[in-house]
Structure 1
Amino acid sequence: MNNQAKFLHKAIQFLHKAAGIINKTKQPKTPFISNAPFEFETVTVNERGKIIKRTAHQANQEILHLNGVTIEMVYVPGGTFLMGSPKTEKDRRFWLESPQHPVTVAPFYMGKYPITQSQWQAVMGNNPPIEWIYYDDAITFCEKLSKIMGKSYRLPSEAQWEYACRAGTTTPFYFGETMTTNLANYRGTDTQWGGSGSYRSEPKGVYREQTTKVGRFPPNAFGLYDMHGNVWEWCADPWHGKYKGAPTDGSVWETGGDSNLRVLRGGAWDLVPRSVRSASRDRLSHDTRRKTVGFRLSKLTDTIPKKG
């Protein structure tokens, strides 16, 4: 073999090796789930919005690993709560938040944050603005993620959502009787049609006019972030204008209602505080997009994580 032939042979070997490395690096890693407890701190405020208490907590979570992207699912212990708002709650929309009724919710997992763009892309393969999501898009995401992970992921029921948001509280917000724009992303300034940027005696805040990065603000006692404001979140339930006849077991309210409209919870960055309360609710057509709407995941569980 002459020098030229040797050179070509080595060059071909090098190219084959390089191609193998490229193919190997491009192949996605097998998705898997890990479990890890995490620590966090909650805050409680008084009617002036001043922090009066800080509390350390620990919760369990499942972490979904997909091509270098993770989705964190927090364990929410089961329990019973009063769904809806009491008659004494300031600025309640009584015709939508009544009658207040007890609901018993089984343990489940809830997304620590709303789904982000990178998480969407890891599952769906494209990268749309995550706050412009149809209800039908969210359902497709859940179905595809379930197939990838071999688990059943879905949108939360409306009862699961409110139970998860309240995290044992009975006040309008999980921070207490009010909150400030240092604690959540909502409109902290007055609107031209009479909406107030403050809820109680707290000072008015800022109006960011856009979404903020998930996890920027303090969580609730379950370890869930961004449940007040930032983006509305789709729930699985068809829309019902009041709670008369609602399930008491935390399940999706499938019967009756308007199946073309789906429940939204949590409020958004463009709304004043009265509209981002734990009991606040709205609806939107399943095939309509808005720049203020996103979603987070839920998953039922039959096992209780070990403490530690």
Structure 2
Amino acid sequence: MPVLVALALTAGGVGYYVWTAMLPSPDGSPAPVVEADATASIEASNPGPRAVRDCDDCPEVVTVPAGSFLMGSAADDPAAAPEEQPQHQVTIAAPFAIGRTEVTFAEWIACVADGGCNGYRPPHEGWGGGPRPVINISWHDAENYVEWLARKTGKPYRLPTEAEWEYATRAGTTTAYWWGNDIGHNLANCKTCGSAWDEQQTAPVASFRANVFGLFDVHGNVWEWVEDCWQPDYKAASTQGLPPNSRRGCSKRTLRGGSWDNSPDLLRSAARLWGQADGRDNSIGFRVALTLPATDDAAAGR
């Protein structure tokens, strides 16, 4: 499946390059080199689509191709929770762009410096800002950021839908994590993940390997807000992955991905949680999405 994804992207004219990241650990030493375990028979550095940014201080985004996938957990999955079912097929009809990493403190402060984000300066808990994911962010804060980004760039930035998030995270896989069914060692930041930051604090973004779509930290580090109002299950889920009633002003919004302070089961691609839309926590951040212009082929239904 990753080979098919790569071919689809190449056919669309997207270039490739290899990302490598050696960001500092909390003690200032280089981050340990990630080694694939028995469950992850993939290269230590993944190729992925080329990342672009629309301004010097904007987040980098990568383009994710259109496609279909099974969202949620299978009925016979022993790790499945009721909110992850029923598993259902979703079609992402058009390519979209999504943040290569979670939005960082540096990117958030650029918004504040430009008069956006209501001037809010979230605390970093003494862990440092800069390249670490911005935390203590509510869903409304995240919306303020993407609205500022849309004004600054003139492009339709937004939060990803829940379906887009899972589709981009899975990157063509059907396993618990994009690298396999076991959490492995030093592949993410969580409780018992084997990283230098486990259960202590956030890691700088891109401290671990990217998936085939070129996305970092989709498992662990911080929970990520998505556009959708919280739904307790998928019984009424859209087959196009559209968020139901997302603009109705619901008080509960959906979170995906797990965090530095969670056990591995909450980092699974299918795992989901809710938070109060106005709630802030040091385990919550977000990444951006961008609606892309329709292509001639898409408009013609090809």
- TM > 0.5: yes
Q: What does 1:61-72 align with in structure 2 at a 5 Å threshold?
A: 61-66=51-56, 69-72=57-60
**1:290 is matched with which residue?**
281
| Residue identity matched to 2:176 | P
Deviations 1:214-267 (A, max 9, x none): 001001110000000000000110010000111111222227999210000000
For residues 83-98 of structure 1, what are the structure 2 equivalents within 5 Å? 83-93=71-81, 95-98=82-85
Distance in 2 of aligned mates of 1:44 and 1:178: 14
Whether 2:135 is the aligned partner of 1:147: answer: no
| Matched position secondary structure for 1:224 | coil
Counterpart of 2:272 in structure 1 is 281
Partner of 1:187: 191
Q: 1:123 to 1:166 in 2, by over 3 A?
A: same
Question: In the alignment, what sits opposite 2:42?
Answer: 53
Q: Does the Cα contact within 8 Å between 2:188 and 2:195 map onto a contact in 1? A: no
The share of aligned pairs that are identical, in percent, is: 38
Give the residue type in structure 2 aligned to 1:267: G
Verify the 8 A CA contact 1:44 1:175 in the aligned structure 2. no
**Cα distance between partner residues in 1 of 2:41 and 2:237:** 36
Structure with the larger strand share:
1
1:229 maps to which residue? 220
Q: How far off its partner does 1:303 sit?
A: 5.0
Contact 2:71 2:88 in 1 (8 A): yes
Is this contact kept in 1: 2:101–2:287, CA < 8 A?
yes
Q: Which residue of 2 aligns with 1:112?
A: 100
Secondary structure in 2 matching 1:282: strand
Gaps of 5+ in 1: 1-35, 189-196, 198-203
Q: Counterpart of 1:176?
A: 180
The aligned length equals 251
Q: Quick one: distance in 2 between partners of 1:257 and 1:149?
A: 26
Q: Name the stretch that deviates more: 57-66 or 172-181.
A: 57-66
How far apart are residue 41 of structure 1 and its match?
Answer: 6.7
**2:17 paired residue among 28, 39, 53:** 39
Alpha-carbon offset, residue 205 of structure 1: 6.7
Instruction: From the superposition, tell whether residues 100 and 257 of structure 1 become closer, same or farther in structure 2 (CA, over 3 Å).
Output: farther
Q: Distance in 1 between matches of 2:139 and 2:236?
A: 24
Specify which of 253, 257, 260 is matched with residue 251 of structure 2: 260
* 1:86–1:100 CA contact under 8 A, matched in 2: yes
Residue matched to 2:23 = none
Contact 1:124 1:144 in 2 (8 A): no
Q: Rg: which structure is higher?
A: 1
TM-score (ref. length: structure 2) = 0.76
1:100 aligns with 2:90: no
Quickly say closer, same or farther: Cα 1:209–1:236, change in 2 above 3 A. Answer: same
Residue type at the aligned position of 2:99 = G
Alignment TM-score, normalising by the size of structure 1: 0.75
CA contact (8 A) 2:46 2:211 kept: no
Give CA-to-partner distance per residue, 1:15-65, whole Å, 9 cap, x none. Answer: xxxxxxxxxxxxxxxxxxxxx94523799966x54x433275241333122
Distance 2:287 2:110 in 1: 15
Residue 291 of structure 2 corresponds to residue 300 of structure 1:
yes
Residue type of the partner of 2:84? E
Q: CA deviation at 1:124?
A: 2.4
Is contact 1:81–1:103 with CA below 8 Å preserved after alignment?
A: yes
- The equivalent of 1:28 in structure 2 is none
Q: Measure, in 2, the Cα distance between the counterparts of 1:99 and 1:268.
A: 24
Deviations 1:254-286 (A, max 9, x none): 279992100000000011111100000000000
* Structure 2: tracts of 5 or more residues without a match: 1-13, 21-33, 114-118, 125-133, 296-302
Q: Secondary structure at the match of 1:287?
A: coil
Aligned residues of 2:50 and 2:62 also touching (Cα < 8 A): yes
Q: Which residue of 2 aligns with 1:19?
A: none
Kept after mapping to 1: 8 A contact 2:138/2:277: yes
Q: Structure 2: how far apart are the matches of 1:158 and 1:138?
A: 15
Distance 1:45 1:236 in 2: 33
